[in-house]
Amino acid sequence: MTAGSTHVTVLLEEAVESLAVKTDGVYMDATFGRGGHSRRILAALGEKGRLVAVDRDPYAIAAGAAIDDSRFQLVHRAFGEIGEAAAEAGVRDVDGILFDVGVSSPQIDDGERGFSFRYDAPLDMRMDTTQGETAAEWLARAEIRDITEVIRNYGEERFAFQIAKKVVAARLEQPIVTTGQFAAIVREAVRTREPGQDPATRSFQALRIHINQELRQLEVALPQALELLKPGGRLVVISFHSLEDRIVKTFMRAQSTADDLPKGLPLRADQLPKPKLRLLGKPFKPSAAEVAANPRARSAVMRVAEKL
């Protein structure tokens, strides 16, 4: 890992407080990372409590080996497979589930992972390095249309088409296999830049989201989490990107309102579908002090709901 890289857990106290941890409860940390939230949950649990953590990154799994606690189990899976992870751990009903989605600081700061344009390294970008296609492999085969859609939809980049054309032209001369190559191509295509932001920022984000299917993972994970929760169980989700937060907001709002049935149906009040979630408070953001201490926290948004 690149020297000096550390992971500062965002909204640590606020997230665990929102879980309302019961000493004998069963909880899931769907995004273990480097274990900041997990360690805090374990500190709040009693002897009979249990925590199942999930992560698809082998480096996170290796870091989790440092937690020697009989109440703790770490499962190597993507959070989109939280249902399978729970079954693998022998857990059926849980009192709370925490998601802290997106890329982690160690993933960005380890240049060899290929997540950042700050280091010239292999263009990998896989969160789970044991399987799947690398970013370089995808760029080598994708058509202009596909590259354009990914960069436009996931990076909200207005020069997506120009970038895609340059990628396809460049790979005819030599394979695009490093972060430095891809960043240089993007910078050449982006005609104007936002103050203080590298022109490659949006494209790197888009490619990472696509390679790891991050938004799709979130879409399939939330319904599974709802099924796993006991009545009164808490769902806490921290997101760092507007596209992620939109998925969370849409899901929680849909599950916290009764189904929209056609008017005039001959149903009694007790026959009407009941909402499955109750929203708790407004979306929560890090304090100015936390952002000052950890600038990567600035875009974080936490939403909390309780199962009815």
Binding residues for S-adenosyl-L-methionine: 35-37, 55, 79, 100, 107
- Taking alpha carbons only, the member of 54, 10, 47 closest to residue 32 is 54
Helix axes 201-212, 179-189, angle to 10 degrees: 130
How far apart, in whole angstroms, are the C-alpha atoms of residue 299 and residue 246? Answer: 13
Query: The tokens of 137 are what?
Result: 């492999």
Query: The tokens of 30 are what?
Result: 């769907």
How far apart, in whole angstroms, are the C-alpha atoms of residue 52 and residue 43? Answer: 14
Query: The tokens of 219 are what?
Result: 């879409």
Residue carrying structure tokens 């950890």: 294
Instruction: Characterize 65-83 residue by residue with b for buried, 16 or more Cβ atoms within 10 angstroms of its Cβ, and e for exposed.
Output: eebeeebbbbbbbbbbbbb
Annotated binding-site residues read 35-37, 55, 79, 100, 107
Q: What is the 3-state secondary structure (H, E, C) of 136-182?
A: HHHHHHCCHHHHHHHHHHHHCCCCHHHHHHHHHHHHHHCCCCEHHHH
